[in-house]
Structure 1
Amino acid sequence: MKKVLKLTALSAVSISLLAACGDEENNGAADNNNGGADVNEENNTEDAAEENNGEESEEAAEDSEPLTVGASNVPHAEILEFAEPLLEEEGVELEIQTFNDYILPNEALADGEIDANYFQHVPYLESQIEEHGFDFVNMGGIHIEPIGIYSQDYGSLEELPEGAEIIMSSSIADHGRILMMLEEEELITLEEGAGVEATIDDIAENPNDFNFQDNVEAALLPTAYDNNEGDAVLINSNYALDAGLSPTEDAIAMESADQDNPYANVVAARSEDENDARIETLVEVLLSDDVREYIEDNYEGAVVPVED
C-alpha cells in the first residue's frame, strides 16, 4: 500500500514538472512569435519608408530635370540666355533649343522633344491649335515684336507709287495685323469687322491699287528685301533683327506696340504641363524687372515687353 502511494506521489510530481515545462515552452514560443511580429512590423515600416523615399526621390528628380525650351534665334533665344542665370537662382536648369522657322517648334513641343516653346504670338498659336489639334496652353505673354515696313527705294509710305508691289508673310496669322497697320496708315480700308482675322480678300478700298504678294515665308522676307524684291517688304522684327536690320532705324513705318496689341509673343506648353512649376517659374522670370530692362536696353523699341 505504501508503495502505491509513493508511486502515485511520484507520478503527480512528474506530471507537474511536465506541465511546467510545457508552459515554459509555450511561453517561449509566444515570445518568439511576438518577436517575429515585431520584426515583421519593423520590416513593413522600413519598406514603407523606403517606398515613400523612393517616390519623393523620383519627384525630386523630375523637378530637377532641365527645362528644355524651343525658341527663335532672335530675340527669344537671346532673352532666354539672359534669363538663364536668373532661373538657376530659382533652381531651374534651362536648356535652349533654337529654331529658324514657325513650324518645327510646335511639332517638337507636341512630340515631347521640348518642354515649352517661346517664339509665337497669340493668333498664330490659336491658328495652329485649330489647324493641327495641338493640345497646347498659353502660359503667358512676354513681349511684342512690331512688324516693320522696309523699302530699298522709298523713304516713307507716302512715297510708294500707285500699283506698288507689297510683299508680306505667307503666314495667314500675320495678315490681319499687316492689313490693320496699312489701314491705320490710311493706305487701304478693310471690310467692317475684319479685325485680326482679316485677309487680302477683306480689303474694301485700295485707292493706290497696291499689289499684295503673300507667298513668301516669314523667315525669307529679309532676303526678299536684300534682293530688292517688291517696292516694300513687311518683316517681323525677330527676322529683321536676325538679319542685321534695325526696325527702329531701317523701317519706313512700324506697327504700333501699345499694350492693346493682340500679338504678344508667349510661352506655350502642353496642356498636361500647365502646372509644371519649372515653366511657371520661367514665365515669372521673363516678366521680371531684370528681363524687362534687358529687353528695353538691347532692342530699343524693336521688341517691347508686355506689362505684367
Structure 2
Amino acid sequence: MEVEKYLSRIGFAGSAVQPSLELLRSVHTCHLLAVPFEDLTIHSGGEVRLDLQLIYDKIVNKRRGGFCYENNGLFFWLLTHLGFHVTMMSGQVRNAITQMYGPPFDHLILQVTVEGRRWLCDVGFGSSGFIAPLSLDTDGLQEDGHRVYRIRRNLEMHVLESQKEENRGEDGEWTEIYKFTLTPRRLEDFIEMCQYHQNSPSSIFVCKSFCTILKPFGRLTYIGRRLITTMFPSEATDGKLEVTTLELKDEEIPEVLAEKFGIVLSSPLIPKDDPITPPDVQY
C-alpha cells in the first residue's frame, strides 16, 4: 500500500509534506471527484470484506469505488499516513422511508483534528454528502456547494442536517441526514453491519445496484437500469437544479459504467432496483 499511488488515484497533484486544513480539504474533494460511491460488488457475485489491503487493491489498483466502510476506511488510512490525527466514528443514517435512524455502526465517518480544530470528514455517503470537511466546533450554517449544512448537538449525540439553497436560512426547512457520537471506533467494529448491508432486504445496498460520483458540474448516478445526470444550479441551468434520466438496456450498462465511471467489472452485473423493506427494529 503506497500513499503516492493513492494520491495519484484521486488526482491530487499538490504538496502533502505536512498536515494542514488546506491539504485535508484538497484530498477530501479529490477523493469524491475520483472514487465512486458504489455497491456493485454485491450485485456481481462478490463480497465486501473489511480488510484494508483488499480495499486498497479494489479502489487504488482496480480503480473501483465502494460504500462507506470501504471509502472512509481507506481514507482513514491515507489521512493517518499523511500525519493527521484521525478518529473513526459510528453514524446512524436516517431512513428515508420510515424517517427513523439505522442502528449503530450503520455508517462509518471520520473526525480529523488539524490546526486546533475538529472536522467531520465523509467520502462515502453519495448524493447527500458534503464536498469539503465540515467543522465540528460550530452549530452554525456551513455552506458547501449548492447545499447548506449544520451539525446540531443534543447531549452527546450530533445530528448532521442539510438544507437546499432555496430554503437557506436558520428558519428554513432542514433535512436530517445522520447522527453520531464522537466515541472512537475501529474498522473491526463495523464488520457485523457490513454483513447486514450485504444481506438484508432493508438495506439499499441489497435492493439497488448503484454507482454515483461527484462531478465539477454536478453528479452522475447509475441505479438499476437508469443513468441520472444532476446539474448543479448555474447560469447554464438558469440557477436551477437540473436532473435528467436515461433508461438503459442491460447490455448497455457495462459500457456506461466503463465510460462514465471508469469501472470495469470482472464478473457480470445483475441490475437491481427493488423496493426497500422497512426494518422491523427502529432506533
What is the TM-score when the length of structure 2 is the normalising length? Answer: 0.29
> Which structure's residues are more often helix, by fraction?
1
> Which structure's residues are more often strand, by fraction?
2
What is the TM-score when the length of structure 1 is the normalising length? Answer: 0.27
Higher relative contact order (CA 8 A, sep 6+): 1
Give the number of the structure whose alpha-carbon radius of gyration is greater.
Answer: 1
